[in-house]
Amino acid sequence: MYEAFYGLRERPFELTPNPRFLLMTPRHREALTTLEYGLAGRTGIALLIGEAGTGKTTIVHAALQSQSAQQSRAVYLNNPSLTRTEFTEFLAAGFGLSADAAKSKTTCLAELTEMLAARHAAGMMAALIIDEAQCLSDMLLEEVRLLTNIESAAEKLLSIILAGQPELAVRLNHPSLRQLKQRIGLRCALSPLTLEETSAYIAARVQIAGGDARTLFTAEAIDTVHQRAGGIPRTISVICDNALVTGFALDTRPVDQQVVLEVCDDFEFAAGPGESSPDRAPGEEEPALLPTHTGPAESQIGVSAADCRPGAHTGLTT
């Protein structure tokens, strides 16, 4: 839509967790290395914690594209709001087990153990990656713990990666889950971007899309994007995409702070503490926030990451 106006080949702020756009902050790099190590090694459970929109799924996808994942049979579950029976069916389908295994947990575990031992003997790994793991019921967390018991005399046979929001870490501190917590061998966390990283994030995405961020956004516009997004990559992308749409509609290039403020007000991305607006006199009151915008990117706002809806999409990667 606006690509030609800004000299872009493609839209820089698509919300898919596409590793092609990945900006390696030190935390993202550490998380990727940790997950790759988890996929390659036999370390029990690897845990990745981060607020919604900080890049967990993107890092998981990047790890799945890595060398170590290519040599591993990796099964990816991205919405674990399943019953125990559905979980068994999922494991059987993901690891290519028999129809009987899909119907019986005992058969499933027996076949899985046999399959993993055979892979281990051939020097190959297998991994189960559960995204949105804060949605796992206590019952399924216990099933996950039981899976970590599949081991040879010397080694774990199945790598497990849990990626989830901070409430998962809180739940793991509960005494009833201490046995599971003890099985976590690797742990890393993603946090919001700093202002410099937000700038770099915008610049990198625009560059990958064929453009130059300096001709797209003023420095003040970027400061405001950072403040209103609280450094959360998904929100930064939502604001930037909508600001580009608005700038295009207004024939304004580069996008300035005023455009960003309008978009943020439409989306009700509130001002952070200490943010000053150039159009407001000191002491002047904040304007009332407008109702939620129904513009082009609204359906993409990342609220879904926070819900744990049963029956939502379940993905398989092998």
Ligand X SMILES: Nc1ncnc2c1ncn2[C@@H]1O[C@H](COP(=O)(O)OP(=O)(O)O)[C@@H](O)[C@H]1O
Residue number with the smallest Cβ distance to ligand X: 55
The residue (of 97 and 232) whose beta carbon lies closer to ligand X is: 232
Provide the CB-side half-sphere exposure for 85 (13 A, CA).
1
The residue (of 57 and 242) whose beta carbon lies closer to Mg ion is: 57
Count H helices and E strands in the chain, helices first.
14, 5
Angle at CA 88, nearest 5°, toward 83 and 89? 95
Exactly one of 52, 169, 208, 312 binds ligand X (CB under 6 A); that residue is 52
Query: Which partner, Mg ion, ligand X, none, binds residue 15 by CB below 5 to 8 Å per kind?
Result: ligand X
The residue (of 195 and 303) whose beta carbon lies closer to Mg ion is: 303
Left if phi > 0, otherwise alpha if psi is -120 to 50, otherwise beta: which for 241? Answer: alpha
Query: Which partner, Mg ion, ligand X, none, binds residue 55 by CB below 5 to 8 Å per kind?
Result: ligand X
Strand 184-190 relative to strand 158-164, pairing: unpaired
* Rounded Cα distance, 206 and 188, in Å: 28
The residue (of 33 and 107) whose beta carbon lies closer to ligand X is: 33
Minimum distance, C-beta of residue 119 to Mg ion, in the bound complex (Å): 28
Q: Which of 240, 262, 264 is nearest to 8 (CA)?
A: 240
Could you give the string, one character per residue 44-83, with x where binding to Mg ion holds by CB under 5 A and - elsewhere?
A: ------------xx--------------------------
Tokens of 227: 């403040």
Q: How many residues bind ligand X (CB under 6 A)?
A: 21
Q: How many residues bind Mg ion (CB under 5 A)?
A: 3
Q: Is 242 a binder of Mg ion (CB under 5 A)?
A: no
Q: Is 28 a binder of ligand X (CB under 6 A)?
A: yes
Could you give the string, one character per residue 286-305, with x where binding to Mg ion holds by CB under 5 A and - elsewhere?
A: -------------------x
188 forms beta bridges with 48
Q: Is 234 a binder of ligand X (CB under 6 A)?
A: yes
| Region near ligand X per CB under 6 A, out of 55-63, 68-76, 140-148, 149-157 | 55-63
What is the DSSP track for 183-211? Answer: TEEEEEEE-PPPHHHHHHHHHHHHHHTT-
| Region near ligand X per CB under 6 A, out of 17-25, 212-220, 253-261, 291-299 | 17-25
The residue (of 88 and 237) whose beta carbon lies closer to ligand X is: 237
Question: Could you tell me if 283 and 259 are in contact, meaning their C-beta atoms sit under 8 angstroms apart?
Answer: no
Q: Is 199 a binder of ligand X (CB under 6 A)?
A: no
Sequence-distant (6+) residues with CB within 8 A of 89 are: 102, 103
DSSP helix/strand/coil, 242: helix
The residue (of 137 and 304) whose beta carbon lies closer to ligand X is: 304
Exactly one of 11, 12, 23, 202 binds ligand X (CB under 6 A); that residue is 23
The residue (of 130 and 305) whose beta carbon lies closer to Mg ion is: 305
What is the DSSP track for 87-125? Answer: HHHHHHHHTT--HHHHH-HHHHHHHHHHHHHHHHHTT-E
In what order do the strands lie in the sheet containing 45-50? 72-77, 125-130, 158-164, 45-50, 184-190
Q: Which residues bind Mg ion (CB under 5 A)?
A: 56-57, 305
Q: Which residues bind ligand X (CB under 6 A)?
A: 15, 17-18, 21-23, 25, 28, 50, 52-58, 201, 233-234, 237, 305
